[in-house]
Amino acid sequence: MDILLIFVNIVIFLALAPLFEGVIRKLTAKVHSRQGPPVVQPYYDVLKLLGKENLVTGNLGFKMAPVIALASILTAIALIPLGFRENFLTQYADIITIIYLLTLGGVAILLGGLASRNTYGVIGASREMITMIMVEPVLAMSFIMGAVKTRSLGLDSTMYSTLGSGYSWSLALMLLVFIMALQAFVGRQPFDIAEAEQEIMEGAFIEYSGPNLGLFKLYKMLKQMFYAVLFVTIFMPFLKTGFFIADVAIQLVEVLVVIVLIAVLGSTNPRLRIDQAVKYFAVLIFLSLAAVGLSVYGI
């Protein structure tokens, strides 16, 4: 049963991540007063890309990058306790493992960008790395706050910490910081600086096409949903019923709420420059440090 849950995670994510992406695109179009594509468009996009010819401009690193990116996020998905139910693999991972796995996905994008040998690709890679360095601590600290409370770095106990202890001022502060960093986690406006279509033409992805690009697109959708699930598990655990299917359903509805938030934030904010973003992230890091500090004192 525990082993089966791993596949439940994977299937739910693979099945729904493109749908959530479609919702974002539809909502963004509505904000722009456009018609927008149908919500199932991202499924078509991925399927279409998989069937296209694969243009390769780089070496082995270029070919492996999308595979590693997708694999790293799938591994992270396989480990997390969706619907407050630990699966077979949850016990084998702690928060540091998860953070490193998410980093590995970013590294794969860097590898792809660098290996494409395109100047814009290298610029995109450089920006992606800067963003990663600056937002990873925020992610880490939302985990660490749970770890400090529960005296454990285990994935399940950390992610359930709010469920156990309820809200505190420090958690509220962390929630605020997490929302402020959310767009950067999922690489959307105002923090899609690494891709910046109008400026450096998708940055690290510039030379990618066909199945490689399809894999990257899928990776980004999965990552977006992953962060949304993380958000609802850590910060919105209160509608837990105890029935697995009901819990998963409730979480997915909550994820939809987060997705709407992402879409609204993304479509109403202009992109920042990388130097502006770095300063913004620095503030977030200090705020989340303050939140962790408060939580040590039980505030």
User: Minimum Å distance from CB 182 to other proteins?
Assistant: 19
Is residue 222 near other proteins by the rule CB under 8 A?
Answer: no
Q: How far is Cα of residue 136 from the mean position of the Cα atoms in its chain?
A: 11
> How many Å apart are CA 122 and CA 62, to the nearest integer?
13
Tokens representing 8 are 């439940």
What is the closest distance, in whole angstroms, from the C-beta atom of residue 116 to other proteins in the complex?
6
Query: How many residues form the binding site for other proteins (CB under 8 A)?
Result: 89
* Min separation Cβ 293 and other proteins, Å: 6
Q: Where are the beta strands (DSSP E) in 102-260?
A: none
Give the separation between CA 116 and CA 244, rounded to whole angstroms.
44
Provide the residue type at 167 as one letter. Answer: Y
The answer to whether 86 contacts other proteins (rule: CB under 8 A) is no
Selected binder of other proteins within 52, 199, 238, 257 (CB under 8 A): 52
Other beta carbons within 10 Å of 76: 24
Is residue 294 a contact partner of residue 170, using CB atoms and an 8 Å limit?
A: yes
Among 12, 27, 82, 115, indicate the residue that binds other proteins (CB under 8 A): 115
- Rule CB under 8 A: say whether 272 interacts with other proteins: no
Q: Is 149 in the site for other proteins (CB under 8 A)?
A: yes
Q: b/e string for 34-50 if b means 16 or more Cβ within 10 A?
A: eebeebeebbebbeebe
Q: Which of 22, 58, 81, 187 binds other proteins (CB under 8 A)?
A: 58
12 or 74: CB nearest other proteins: 74
130 contributes a contact to other proteins by CB under 8 A: yes
Binding of other proteins by 33 (CB under 8 A): no
DSSP letter for 89, please. T
Among candidates 145, 149, 151, 147, which has minimal Cα distance to 172?
145
* 192 belongs to the binding site for other proteins (CB under 8 A): no
Of 20-28, 233-241, 250-258, 277-285: span binding other proteins (CB under 8 A): 277-285
Task: In angstroms, give the least distance from the CB of 142 to other proteins.
Answer: 12
3-state secondary structure (DSSP) of residue 94: strand
State in angstroms the smallest separation of the CB of 245 from other proteins.
25
